[in-house]
Structure 1
């Protein structure tokens, strides 16, 4: 079964280029294109793609607002935010909006294809560099009141969330806690389910917003 993709960008030439890259892969299919955020939301709701590639700077409604609108609907698509500018503000706002990935438009075709497959598979594009910048974004924020949902986690699930929020992979968490990697995957799945989160990106944002993990902690 192919992974369906909607491309949302106000530059027609860029959309054409992205389509050409994506459709070289037999397991990927572009099912629609949108030139602004309003059109992107309407198109995604109608076509129900697996993944939406969402530009940030678009007319009528920007990509961040469109992402929030899409992810507020039942069974939403996964969203990868595309941007020309590698700024902390864009990164942080994209993660807060609920995006599962963040890519620069200068990323290689190989990176784009990998990103689509990873995100469509239910994972998120979260590497140590991104995690570090999320930490820095929270470094000087006042400490929040921990949400009640944290109390639903077992001590081991809380440990897993802390390590996940610091950018550790499942294998690294496994080594740190001296448990099997399959056990870690189960803990991660339970953390996401109990907290109502879609993926590891949201888990990182939640951990810092809740005060469970603090920069430098």
Structure 2
């Protein structure tokens, strides 16, 4: 009986070990399954985070490039404005230097001599160095000389009592020269 008891104990032990091993395999399989699910979820989450980061980086790069392009355009526009302003200052200074009272007097006298004798002429000039009084003495009848504080250098001539006029002021001549130079300047700045 002792043998039967030993055999029974061994059988119970073997079945217990077998059941325990089966349970352990089942627990291990379940743990592996859960671990695989956790790893798969982690990989999926990591891929989503990576995709989101790549998309954000692409948007940031696109935005940065757009801002750089805009800054470049703004820089060129401002540079062109500065160059045009500098050119206008230089031309205006040169026109004022060239349009002295003596030169303006010579031009006005030339216009008067070349104009028809019966035409009424109004000439508006800047008041500079007694220029108006000297010029009045040099011109013929039919010409009206008027002073204007609006003109800093140069003059205007009207043959129809001011309805229309030829503008030889520093501002008009500067504008004419600038408009003439702008296409050439545009080519240089390209």
TM more than 0.5: no
Highest Rg: 1 or 2? 2
TM-score range, shorter chain: under 0.3
TM-score, normalization by structure 2: 0.25
TM-score, normalization by structure 1: 0.22
